[in-house]
Amino acid sequence: MQVIKLGLISLVVFALLITGISLFFPSNVRVSKAIDIKGNRDSVWMLVKDPANWRKWYPGGDSLPPFVVDGKIKGIGTDSMQALMITGITDSTVMASNVGPLSKDGETGWNIYPGHVPEMMTIQMYMDFHLRWYPWEKFSSLLLENRYGQQLEKALENLKKLAEQ
């Protein structure tokens, strides 16, 4: 009986310790990549701000269905239960959110910055993740760069190839 009691107390203390450590991890994590593109700013920006053009450069976008709201393409469907939909556009920023019952809380965005050389611009693509206090979510944030960083780099490389043609 004492062994079982010691085991239960040890599990509770270990769980509290892991939870306490995870509270030091940030709740908001951003994975970001950027690339320099040579070309006309307006034509590059049209590729980013129009979701109908995403299928030309977004990784896997050629096989994803468009996400249509009120007869207008607002994003792309990532699978049958979620989509990436534009939520805001300014002159230098496009913001999109995951929508759907199975989607995680987070945003994706693109920023355009003027380059130091004429006809050159920098495009930044980022993904923001909003995590709950759960230890498994906080510890999984350590792997977000490995999981999504390559996807962001691939998207920006595809965008650069398309824009510089």
Q: Give pLDDT tens digits for 105-159.
A: 788 999 999 888 888 899 999 999 888 889 988 998 888 888 889 999 999 999 9
List the CATH number of the domain containing 37: 3.30.530.20
Task: Spell out the residues 6+ positions from residue 163 whose beta carbon is closer than 8 angstroms to its own.
Answer: 37, 39, 43, 44, 47
Q: What's this model's pTM, rounded to 2 decimal places?
A: 0.83
**Tokens coding 1:** 């009986």
The answer to whether residue 1 sits within a structural domain is: no
Within a domain: 7: no
Within a domain: 12: no
pLDDT in tens, 76-109: 887 667 788 889 999 899 999 888 766 667 889 9
Is residue 162 within 8 A of residue 57, CB to CB? The reply is yes
Whether 130 contacts 105, CB under 8 Å = yes
Compute the average pLDDT of residues 57-74. Answer: 84
Note the maximum CA span of the chain: 77
Please list, residue by residue across 61-90, b when 16 or more beta carbons sit within 10 angstroms of its beta carbon and e when fewer do: beebebbeeeeebbbbbbeeebbbbbeeee
In a domain, 46, yes or no: yes
> What is the C-alpha separation between 34 and 109, in angstroms, rounded?
12
Residue 4 lies in a domain: no
Cβ atoms of residues 48 and 110 within 8 Å: yes
